[in-house]
Amino acid sequence: MIIISPSVLAADFSVLGAELDKVAKAGAQYIHLDVMDGIFVPNISFGPPVISSLRKKSEVVFDVHLMITDPIRYIDDYVKAGADIITIHYESCENPLEVVRYIRSKGVSPCVSIKPETPPEVLFDMMNELDMVLVMTVEPGFGGQKMIPEMVAKVRVLRDHIEKNGLSVNIEVDGGITPENAPQVIDAGANVIVAGSAIFRADDPKAVIEKIKALG
């Protein structure tokens, strides 16, 4: 099954609650919330107060992507704010597995992301403790970029490893995903699709979501 996780970076922040409601009604199962600190990535977005406010207005799965340095400092805050999934970056801390285990201990689903330059093999040793891995298909930090085609091969490597080891791990892709290039990443093994502009700025978000879901 293909899961759609629209990125709120492409939403209209002046009516963010209504924007979430719009894509949830259009068929999105997750909402992708990109948290950026201006240090790990060269941009700043929002933090726990915004997520907590949105949680009161939505029952959709909150897919919280922490693009921040030393994320273990803030896990409790995002758990309290209402995160269902917390993604950290492999590159953001010295011991990603420690953070993964802490997230799990809080009753939240853990995920680890890798940047475009990071080889997928770094995730192999911790894969059995993850619910999801995230392959960044652009350099993290800004919305509206074009997907880097070479990232499709990473998805295939991870899916092969998951299947060979009998694991049940979702593969998420994030960055420049559209209905036109989604078949490439889905064919490679991705099943959680983050799309921002392609959904939030579409004339008919439901049609876009249904088109991508039909690829699964």
Question: Would you name the residues annotated as active-site residues?
Answer: 34, 174
Strand order in the sheet with 61-67: 3-6, 192-195, 170-174, 132-136, 109-114, 85-89, 61-67, 30-36
Is residue 20 within 8 A of residue 202, CB to CB? The reply is no
User: Could you give the CA distance from residue 179 to residue 98 in angstroms, rounded to a whole number?
Assistant: 36
Q: Which two tokens stand for residue 24?
A: 């949830």
- Tokens standing for residue 197: 């502009």
Q: Write the burial class of residue 180 (CB in 10 Å: 0-12 exposed, 13-18 middle, 19+ buried).
A: exposed
Sequence-ordered alpha helix ranges (H) in the chain: 16-25, 48-55, 75-81, 96-105, 151-164, 182-188, 197-200, 205-213
Distance of CA 198 to the CA centre of its chain: 15
Query: What are the start-end ranges of the E strands in 43-142?
Result: 61-67, 85-89, 109-114, 132-136
